[in-house]
Amino acid sequence: MLGNFSYHNPTKLYFGKDSLQYLNEELPKYGKTVQLVYGGGSVRRNGIYDSVMQLLQSNGKTVVEDGGVMSNPTADKLREGAKLAREHNVDLILAVGGGSCCDYAKAVSVSAHCGDDPWEKYYIRFEEPDCRIIPVGCVLTMAGTGSEMNGGAVITNHEQKLKIGHVFGDEVMPKFSILNPEYTYTLPRRQMVAGIYDIFNHICEQYFSGEDDNTSDYLAEALMKSVIHSSLIAIENPEDYEARSNIMWTATWALNTLISRGKTTDWMVHMLGQAVGAYTDATHGMTLAAVSLPYYKKIMQYGMQKFVRFAREVWGIDTNELTDEEAAAAGLDAMESWMKSLGLTMHISELGATEEMLDGITSATIILDGGYKVLTKEEIKQVLKDSM
């Protein structure tokens, strides 16, 4: 049954091979100074940086460069970026990169004029911004996080061994995002498949929760089937435009809050994966892959009918001659086979997690109550052990 909800998403998208040219429509809407956020240098090597800079310069912008954003942006980097934005009185933050750059840009947008330490305010106390927010735009180069059309911003604090996401409101969502699937072609295979699993798990987090027979569930099933189909093409031919465009478009719809309507949503796989990431600094999508199956096997009995439906509708398993337990398990087996075919990491030990870290990772795992079962700390530790 659908509950009461509201839905609003203010982000404007430009999608396709020529989408970067729409910067010419967006840039005049903002002031003179643009903080250009990017990562480790791949956008320089593949020419995207030069294309963006040319458009910024032709629109008369003063560019403040903020490079070196890491795959798991840190609290220290956030403070540096906020200081840069404040000192240059930045009018627009333009993120050119993947989800980490987009997340970081949004975090900087609410931190530059914040009178408090942003980590403490937003990631420990989970307060909302009460200061001037700098507008954000995104030029996406990796499909996965959906950060281009939501208010989420995940930041890691290595000193505190915490990796935490804050989902900000509409005013922090990117004002516009540019999505050219060709920009994802040069991603290393490992990053591509990590992004693909991030997309898939975003859908699972919303699907495996709440009531059945919800319109959101039908949308989720279609999106999951699209990811599965396109992923198998993309790993064989990374420059298949149709496959890469479908992956990119699905990533956006997987986490722009649409399919969460009427759902409680789970997000425990993300809490587990982020805790692992806080200790190992591992790639986000790989941490999710490594903890997913042990978690879903743990909660399967509490949401049995949805797991049976998952097997039937997403994986095409004939469940008529199977018990519910057999059908649900067959669905997870099919998911595991697909994950392995992509080359995903299936164990957290492969990401650098050790038995000695398990107590700390357990403590760093935030417990949420939107799924079929609220886990205890002991159960979380067992899931982590099963993930080793």
210 shares a domain with 131: no
Share the mean pLDDT of the chain.
96
Separation of CA 174 from chain center: 14
177 shares a domain with 193: no
Whether the Cβ atoms of residue 345 and residue 286 lie closer than 8 Å to each other: yes
With respect to residue 341, please indicate whether it lies within any of the assigned structural domains. Answer: yes
370 shares a domain with 233: yes
Whether residue 1 has pLDDT greater than 80: no
193 shares a domain with 179: no
With respect to residue 7, please indicate whether it lies within any of the assigned structural domains. Answer: no
With respect to residue 1, please indicate whether it lies within any of the assigned structural domains. Answer: no
Where a domain ends, among 140, 156, 183? Answer: 183
Q: What number is the average pLDDT over the span 344-358?
A: 97
Closest CA relative to residue 265, chosen from 370, 372, 146, 373: 370
Under the banding of pLDDT at 50, 70 and 90, the label for residue 40 is confident
pLDDT tens per residue, range 190-232:
999 999 999 999 999 999 998 777 899 999 999 999 999 999 9
- How many domains does the chain contain in total? 2
232 shares a domain with 176: no
Give the CATH number of the domain where residue 75 resides: 3.40.50.1970
Please tell me the distance from the alpha carbon of residue 113 to that of residue 87, in angstroms, as a whole number. Answer: 10
User: Tell me, what's the pLDDT at 159?
Assistant: 95
177 shares a domain with 31: yes
Give the CATH number of the domain where residue 272 resides: 1.20.1090.10
Structure token digits, residue 169: 């409101």
64 shares a domain with 116: yes
Structure token digits, residue 194: 């990590």
Please tell me the distance from the alpha carbon of residue 126 to that of residue 109, in angstroms, as a whole number. Answer: 16
The range of the structural domain enclosing residue 380 comes to 189-387
Q: What number is the average pLDDT over the span 69-81?
A: 96
Q: Is 138 exposed, middle or buried (0-12, 13-18, 19+ CB in 10 A)?
A: buried
